[in-house]
Structure 1
Amino acid sequence: MASVAVIGGTGMNQWPGLVVQKQLLVETPYGAPSAPLLLGKVYGIQAIFLARHGEGHRIPPHGINYRANMWALKQAGVSAVVAIAAVGAIAPWLPPGAVAVPTDVIDYTYGREHTYSDGEHAELKHVEFTEPYSERVRRELLHGALEARVDIAESGVMGVTQGPRLESTAEIKRLKRDGCDMVGMTGMPEASLARELGLDYAGLAVSVNWAAGLGSGDIHGEIHQSIEAGMAKVRAILERALPALRARDEVMDS
């Protein structure tokens, strides 16, 4: 079984190059995941792909069953997760088309089922979240970017908003004051649920537009222009990073 999984979002609802061997229909105590887990071969290894927004990109950020998604990956034997997310750029060093590996997160979402410690399915558990992302996975992603000769931002704070609407100019000013470098809609509670389950989780954030009030053009037009260039960089990084993650897991299991 694959120990490495990729969660794809906007711009990567499918994984080009993945030769699907099996669709895993996983039942969880929290309902169904967004889509069947696709087990397949890519870059010479077995990996699992999960379309975060479902087949056909139909589930909005606030409607995603994050608990079922992460539980399904854990149940399928996954130990390392790379989450792909399209983000709006707040920091000037993250122009559209650039890629970052976030180091921290601020959660602005509300009403999402954000924990397994709900008093019904699991006992109370206060997980440590000082560093939200797995340093092991981050390190392999950065090394993969180096090998692929892809310029990458090695850090950054991700602000996660509710969606599906984009933010107002005033909201982006607030996020900037709070220390956010980028803004997305799906990074939480994904990261904290992964931590509760003991999954090594990190992200690749693809800048697809300047956040509200920071650019000069049409935001949706900017997204369409930059998303494929950013996702091409993501695929190049994954091609180098995932085999290294898989090899590391095999060593740890031996």
Structure 2
Amino acid sequence: MDTVIGIIGGSGVYEIDGLEEARWQDVSSPWGTPSDQVLTGRLGGVNMAFLPRHGRGHVHAPSDVPYRANIDALKRLGVTDVISVSACGSFREDMAPGDFVIVDQFIDRTFARAKSFFGSGCVAHVGFAHPTCPRLSAACTVSARAAGVTVHEGGTYLAMEGPQFSTLAESRMYRDQWGADVIGMTNMPEAKLAREAELCYASVAMVTDYDCWHPDHDEVDVAQVIATLTGNGDKARRMVAGLPALLGANRAPCPHGCDRALDMAIMTAPDKRDPTLLGRLDAVAGRVL
């Protein structure tokens, strides 16, 4: 199988030097219209696909990002490995603005988003104890460090609904009682949907601020966030540029089983499955259906 690396991130992440055969293309999905066109090309002999999570010009709020359409579109393009690049706030003194955190756990506090491709007519339950792919996360760690980034391996990402930032009470609770390391608004349900679509998923959280728990940073300053995010863009591009050499053009089966997540997941009897829903699942679950 050919490796196809999918990058979901901000506008600056896909401006990669040396991207060959680059073109923006529309991808139709039965789950709606994706956030934007997808930029496809080849880098270092490996196929790449870049999807602006919020759309070019940042037109989608976190709650309104079409997460199902985005993951389905990448699956239809043959993507095998998804790297999420996103901004986050930090709950840890040592996870400073400008650092990258390779997330390995999530606490999902979102409530206004469709979180599954499955439902009435075809019920499925995928394992999610370990929500990111260790193999893909390790590649991101190596590439980010080679790019000169301070990287923290492992961290718990608190996904909040937004679009407002946390209250001080919430920030203290997430940090002190729940043990979260970073906070953001976009990795859920993205990570859950990637697992349902049998895609390896890694989350690279780029720290922009200390949220509001920090006594010297008592509230999030949007201007500060944007300034740090701009600086992180260069680091993210360098990290992405190093991934093809680490992942290679030929894709072996995932040693952690991400690409076989649906093997025992579908519960609905074949004769009870909704044909309409099955038609929408042709890309996501076609391997088992």
TM-score by length of 2: 0.80
Residue of structure 1 in register with 2:287 after alignment: none
Shift of 1:222: 2.2
- 1:223 counterpart = 2:225: yes
Q: For residue 151 of structure 2, give the secondary structure of its aligned residue in structure 1.
A: coil
Report if the CA contact (8 A) 1:83-1:203 is conserved.
yes
Aligned residue number for residue 75 of structure 2: 74
Q: Which amino acid aligns with 1:188?
A: M
Aligned to 1:100: 101
Q: Secondary structure at the match of 1:12?
A: helix
Contact 1:21 1:40 in 2 (8 A): yes
How much has 1:133 moved relative to structure 2? 0.2
- Equivalent position of 2:53 in the other structure: 52
Q: How much has 1:119 moved relative to structure 2?
A: 1.9
Once the 2 structures are TM-superposed, how far is the Cα of residue 248 of structure 1 from its aligned partner? Answer: 4.7
Alignment of 1:1-254 (within 5 A): 3-9=4-10, 12=12, 14-17=14-17, 18=19, 21-43=22-44, 45-119=46-120, 123-176=122-175, 177-214=177-214, 216-217=216-217, 219-249=221-251
From the superposition, tell whether residues 228 and 19 of structure 1 become closer, same or farther in structure 2 (CA, over 3 Å). farther
Gaps of 5+ in 1: none
Tell me the distance in 1 between the aligned counterparts of 2:6 and 2:92: 29
Distance 1:163 1:23 in 2: 30
- Aligned partner of residue 203 in structure 1, secondary structure: strand
Q: Quick check: 33-42 or 187-196, which moved more?
A: 33-42
CA distance, structure 2, for counterparts of residue 15 and residue 153 of structure 1: 25
Superposition deviation, residue 104 in structure 1? 0.3
Mapped to 2, the partners of 1:224 and 1:64 lie a distance apart of 20
- C-alpha distance in 1 between matches for 2:9 and 2:111: 22
Unaligned 5+ runs, structure 2: 255-289
- Local SS of the residue matching 1:85: strand
CA contact (8 A) 1:87 1:184 kept: yes
> SS of the counterpart of 1:72?
helix
Q: Output the amino acid matched with 1:201.
A: Y
Q: CA distance change for structure 1 residues 94 and 43 in 2, over 3 Å: closer, same or farther?
A: farther
1:243 deviation in Å?
A: 3.0
Q: Which amino acid aligns with 1:99?
A: F
1:216, 1:252 → 2: CA distance?
47
Paired residues, number:
249
**Mean CA deviation greater in 107-116 or 139-148:** 139-148
Distance 2:91 2:223 in 1: 18
Report the Cα distance in structure 2 between the residues aligned to 1:134 and 1:252, rounded to whole angstroms: 12
Give the structure-1-normalised TM-score.
0.90
1:247 counterpart SS class: coil
* Pairwise CA distance, 1:148: 3.0
Q: How far apart, CA to CA, are the structure 2 residues paired with 1:205 and 1:50?
A: 17
Judge conservation of contact 1:210–1:219 (CA < 8 Å) in 2: no
Q: Aligned AA for 1:161?
A: M
Deviation at 1:71, TM superposition (A): 0.5
Shift of 1:44: 5.0
Asked if 2 retains the 8 angstrom alpha-carbon contact of 1:3 and 1:246, the reply is no
C-alpha change, 1:20 and 1:168, in structure 2 (3 Å) is farther
